[in-house]
Amino acid sequence: MSHPQTTFKDTVFHGKSILSVRRNTIGKTTLHTQLNQLRSTGRYDCFKLKWHPVYDDKSMGWPVPKHLFWDSDIGKWIEAACYFLHHEQDEEIDRAVQELVQMIRGAQGSDGYLNLHYTVVEPEPSKRWSNLRDMHELYNAGHLIEAALAHHDHYKDDLLLEPMLKYVSYIRETFGPNKDQRHGYPGHPEIELALLRLYTVTGYRDAYDLARYFLEERGNPTGQDGKHYYDWETEQRGESQWKRPDPYPESRAYWYAQAHEPILQQHSVEGHSVRCMYLLTAVADMIYLDLERQAGRRDLLPALDVEAWKTAATRLWSNMVDKKMYLTGGIGAVKQWEGFGIDYFLPQGTDEGGCYAETCASIAVMMFAERLLHLGGTGNPDRRYADVMELCLYNNVMTAMSLDGNAFTYVNQLASSNKDLSARSDWFEVSCCPPNLARLFGSLGGYVWDYGTEGNDAYVNVHLYATAKVTFDVNGKPLTLEQTSNWPWEGTVKFNLSAPPSTNTTIRLRLPSWSGNQYTLDPAPSQSNIGVSQGGYLTLSPSYVSANPSFTISIQGFKPRYITPHPYTNQRTLTLARGPIVYCAEDTDNSWESNHFKDVAISRSGEVKEMPRVDERTSEDYVALQTKGWTRSLSQWDAKQDGESPALSASDESFGEERDLVLVPYYFRANRSGKGHMRVGLLDRCQ
């Protein structure tokens, strides 16, 4: 299993491709501004276990105190920092990581327990694990485990891994199927995927068993004393069911945490979208480990009903992508539970009923997608997953950070409104998203491709295009594959392979769905040398590759195209896209519209012009688009008296003068002056 968090080290981005530029910005700027935020907010020193005034602050939604996620903020930042340190030393970052690790070590109890809240704020031992549903102990542990893995990988010591293994051992004793163990699982999944990575890296079997227990036990209606675990622990706390957390619109809304029924029985993605994606990422990891067991590489693991789990994972993926995903790769329409609404409930903005599309959620979709890419076997990656991974990356995820790397979004609406302008913030009280962006970009190289060897055979499956180089060993000698491209603006990607002699290298290149499988390959192959796999990857045979270690693919699909959400969303809008980039209208580029482009229509028959541009401040290239637009007349409604019957004759839909409309990439929004008006889906002029 090659997790991106491990394999990213093999990949170096260079040149001015957008991924490279963005990763650089995070390394040079974002890590530092985030470190400053950690320091100024009290997070940095929290593992000194002194009192901080914020611990008295009860203003967050019940029952979550503001500092509850601080452990994870630290963990995620350490993880990100280590990813960047791997490629480039940075003294301040390095010093901070080391100091944080010392503080974390000092905060661990002698029994292995390690948690800020239950050590400082509610230190009575009986409070530990008393509220798995809400209190994020296991979530925080998960992020610290991930930090430890990154730290171990970079520093090659166990300063953080050792206390985390001790903590995991303690957790493993606490939770499990035995009579004297608790039959619980985290309200916010995360530790499962961390544990499976921990097992993959260290072989520590308890980590696997614990993760598997959490996944298999989740949603058991009679898990503890014949009761749902969250019911049982609620009773243990002496609380009634109606003492429901603020995000619960109803009592026992365990679907909020995907614990309403066992995972294998779930037919739709429900509740908090980040929790759901972290959970399913772990499910995919568990499936993969069983496939490895079947292939004889994990002899000691107990068998899994892998078909049932695969069916559940792909069923939930399809429900999400087909019915609960925005065109930008965002998921989660409902603010109250930061998650999924009913099927096809995908309003573009809060003035239409919601649009959450949390940054972390799309990052987690990328994680889930990356894991799913492995389940078909190395010879059969499925572009459905990589397409969505790329869609998330370039749109919902990349829009979450300003070009200068100093400002972020938590929520990524598709349309602004007066109450929710298109804008970014320096930091958040619940600040999961900014360090998550840093983690993702730190390990981004691991998402670009996967690869492996067996004897003299090697393969590289290329999922993302950029300018980047990967190096890995074949029989102890380095194989290097370099790609050079101006993706996502152009589809021409030049490859250069340097492999040890007698290596049989197969290269698979994703043909994105939107390419319509249209491409040219130079040098031209013979029929027998290539093929397009069922999963949509162009497979270059070892014979083609060895004859042509330098080759160029030109992928089509960079003509602007109209995309539209499913009709059952009631949107009836058109959006412009080009390659993987989804576009939006911003007020800066356009004549003033009073209501966030809500009345602006475009037409499928309208000609679209491309306008290559360079951003003034960052010198970053991008392609803007221009087409014809019209403003819908609301005169019928304006003419109505206030409070007059709604059931009057409808005028024909009418639209104002045709005019030019300029659109920019969605990720680019809110980087210039402007009034924060923005919209992705514009009215379909229907002609």
- The answer to whether residues 191 and 214 touch, using CB atoms and an 8 Å cutoff, is yes
Nearer to a copy of itself, 243 or 659 (CB): 243
C-beta of residue 82 within 8 angstroms of C-beta of residue 153: yes
Selected range binding a copy of itself among 34-42, 104-112, 348-356, 373-381, rule: CB under 8 A: 348-356
Per-residue contact string for residues 290-329; x = within reach of a copy of itself by CB under 8 A: ------------------------x--xx-xxx--xxx-x
Q: Quote the CA–CA distance of 189 and 257 in Å, as a whole number.
A: 8
Residue 646 sits in the site that holds a copy of itself (CB under 8 A):
yes
Q: How many residues does the chain have?
A: 687
* By the rule CB under 8 A, 345 interacts with a copy of itself: yes
Least distance from a copy of itself to the Cβ atom of residue 1, Å = 22
What is the nearest approach in angstroms of a copy of itself to the Cβ of residue 371? Answer: 14
Binding-residue pattern over the window 540 to 579 for a copy of itself, x denoting contact by CB under 8 A:
---------------------xxxxxxxx-xxx-x--x--
DSSP string, 626-637: EEEEEEB--HHH
Smallest distance, a copy of itself to C-beta of residue 8, A:
24
If the CB atoms of residues 461 and 571 are measured against a copy of itself, the closer one turns out to be 571
CA distances (Å), origin 262, targets 211, 252, 498:
15, 15, 48
Q: Which of 180, 607, 642, 657 binds a copy of itself (CB under 8 A)?
A: 642
Q: Which of 102, 181, 251, 550 binds a copy of itself (CB under 8 A)?
A: 251
Among 391, 397, 540, 663, binds a copy of itself (CB under 8 A): 391
Nearer to a copy of itself, 288 or 317 (CB): 317
Per CB under 8 A, the list member of 27, 187, 341, 435 interacting with a copy of itself is 341
Give the nearest distance from C-beta 627 to a copy of itself in angstroms: 14
Q: How far apart are CA 158 and CA 528, in angstroms?
A: 50
CA distance 188 to 25: 30
Phi/psi at 579 (nearest 5 deg)?
Answer: 55, -135
Q: According to CB under 8 A, which one of 458, 582, 585, 625 is a site residue for a copy of itself? A: 582
Residues 6+ apart with CB under 8 A from 418: 351, 596
Backbone angles phi, psi at 521, to 5 degrees: -125, 135
Task: Answer for the pair 663, 682: CB distance below 8 angstroms, yes or no.
Answer: no
Q: With CB under 8 A as the rule, give the number of residues binding a copy of itself.
A: 74
**Which structure tokens are listed for 262?**
């066992």
Indicate the residue among 42 and 245 with the shorter CB distance to a copy of itself. 245
Distance, in Å, from the CA atom of 106 to the CA atom of 276, rounded to the nearest integer, reads 33
* Position 511 contacts a copy of itself (CB under 8 A): no
Beta bridge partners of residue 679, listed in sequence order:
415, 585
Nearer to a copy of itself, 40 or 251 (CB): 251
CB atoms within 10 A of CB 607: 9
Would you say the C-alpha torsion 580, 584, 589, 591 has a positive or negative sign?
positive
Nearest-approach distance from CB 484 to a copy of itself, in angstroms: 25
List 28, 50, 640, 659, residue binding a copy of itself (CB under 8 A): 640
Cα 26 to Cα 406, 407, 422, distances in angstroms: 9, 11, 22
Q: Which 185-224 residues touch a copy of itself, going by CB under 8 A?
A: none
Between CA 554 and CA 503 the distance in angstroms is 26
Q: Which stretch binds a copy of itself (CB under 8 A): 6-14, 242-250, 465-473, 542-550?
A: 242-250
* Cβ at position 193, least distance to a copy of itself in Å: 20
Nearer to a copy of itself (CB atom), residue 120 or residue 680? 680
